[in-house]
Structure 1
Amino acid sequence: MKGKIINSHSRFGGFRFWPTALVIVVFVALYICHSYVDLSYRRDLVASGQWWRLFSGQFVHNNNSHLFSNMAALLLCRVLLSIVYGERDFTLSLLSCAFITGVLIHFLLPSYEYYLGVSAALYGVLIAGALAMWRGRPYAGASLFVLIIAKLSLDYLVPDSVDGVSERIGVPVAVEAHFIGVFAGVLVGVGEAALGLIRPAALPPE
């Protein structure tokens, strides 16, 4: 069924980004809270029943640099995916990718005792968005998908390439978790397509 085209001009015309703005406010609020109460993913505490850490750990950050770099990445994702995601769909995709990533890290990465940060979930959002874009703009969607996989492959095969980032954010870059985020994005993208939540993108009229 042919869906409605997202008009990026109307989306950007007024302050229609309040959900994304709210997410950023939540990032900051959780960062402050995390300085007093640990909200990160911790395997031992999840095993003892604190399942909420699967979700909260995706939205807290280690230091200012970690927080600000991920907020910038969130805004970049929002701009890149504006032609396929309205505010509701973008926010739902982010929350879904964050939750699924947390669950998959717990069950598929037993070596991860500790994790925090939204970067893996953002990779998932990009992948889900690339899959949505693929149906309306196949070359753009495929290019975005390939670029993400190439970037992650470089991070994995050349660990030194992320040393600078690790030093800046104060924790090792969780490359394996980023791949888990990609897997979560594939699941979310397929689910969104099946449920008809994504409206096919098209070029704005000239």
Structure 2
Amino acid sequence: MTFTAKNLPIQKQHTLIVSIISILAILAFVFDDQIANLFVYQHNAISQGELWRVFTGHLFHTNAVHLLLNLSALLLLWALHGHFYNIKNYSLMFISSALVCSLGLYLFSPDISQYVGLSGVIHGIFVFGAIMDIRHKDKTGYLLFIGVWLKIAHEQYYGASEQVANLIDANVAIDAHLWGAIGGLVFSCGYIIYLNAKKS
């Protein structure tokens, strides 16, 4: 699909959930001091049964730059792949990526005691968009799909960018990127199976 301002996916079905997530993230940032302790991802708190944190923690950010970086990525992905979004699939994609991301961190990165940010989920959204491009015979989908996994592999091997860490005033949780992308991959495979079954 050729990207132009004229073909931005501005219909309600394409924008509603993206807008809600963005607004919730902004509200979480504004009221961070009042509510963060109750809602951010904290390994120990989740171990004690505060399971809502596996979802709500993704809406919080370390500082304004962190928030703006993630909201910009969310917006760019919407501009690129929003025509594939609808209220149901985007909601399920967000939930799947957030859940797999948090569970991956909880089970395999217990040294990460606290995590905030949408970046893990954004990697899942990126994977979904690339796979949908591929399904619709758009060759750029292959480049995007390969590119995101090369980025993740680079992070896993070499670590995160120090410049980004300085910008967001925190360590970059590269494992969140890995697990978020896996969550997006799992959802995308299930979604394609659903669409193919619906066709037949």
Q: TM-score, length-normalised on structure 1?
A: 0.82
Calculate the aligned-residue CA RMSD, in Å.
2.7
Distance 1:49 1:14 in 2: 36
Shift of 1:40: 1.4
Structure of greater relative contact order (alpha carbons < 8 Å, 6+ residues apart): 1
Deviations 1:113-148 (Å, cap 9, x if unpaired)? Answer: 111111011101111222222111252221111111
Q: Which residue identity does 1:183 align to in structure 2? A: I
1:180 is the counterpart of 2:179: yes
Aligned positions of 1:6-21 closer than 5 A: 9=7, 11-12=9-10, 17-21=15-19
Shift of 1:72: 0.4
Q: Which residue identity does 1:147 align to in structure 2? A: G
More helix by share: 2
Q: Quick check: 2:97–2:182 contact (8 Å CA) kept in 1?
A: no
Distance 1:43 1:19 in 2: 27
Q: SS state of the match for residue 58, structure 2? A: coil
Distance 1:180 1:14 in 2: 29
Q: Quick check: 2:61–2:117 contact (8 Å CA) kept in 1?
A: yes
Identity %: 21
2:58 — aligned with what?
58
Distance 1:137 1:162 in 2: 33
Q: 1:78 to 1:87 in 2, by over 3 A?
A: farther
1:25 — aligned with what?
23
2:43 — aligned with what?
43
Deviations 1:168-201 (Å, cap 9, x if unpaired)? Answer: 101101112211111111111112112229x99x
Q: Quick check: 1:20–1:87 contact (8 Å CA) kept in 2?
A: no
Q: 1:177 to 1:84 in 2, by over 3 A?
A: same
Shift of 1:102: 1.5
Where structure 2 has 5 or more consecutive residues not aligned to the other structure, the ranges are 1-5
Q: Which residue identity does 2:102 align to in structure 1? A: G
How many pairs align? Answer: 192
Deviations 1:28-75 (Å, cap 9, x if unpaired)? Answer: 111223222222111111111111111111111111111111000100
Distance 1:96 1:107 in 2: 16
1:167 is the counterpart of 2:166: yes
Aligned positions of 1:83-94 closer than 5 A: 83-94=83-94
Q: 1:43 to 1:14 in 2, by over 3 A?
A: closer
Q: Quick check: 2:130–2:144 contact (8 Å CA) kept in 1?
A: yes
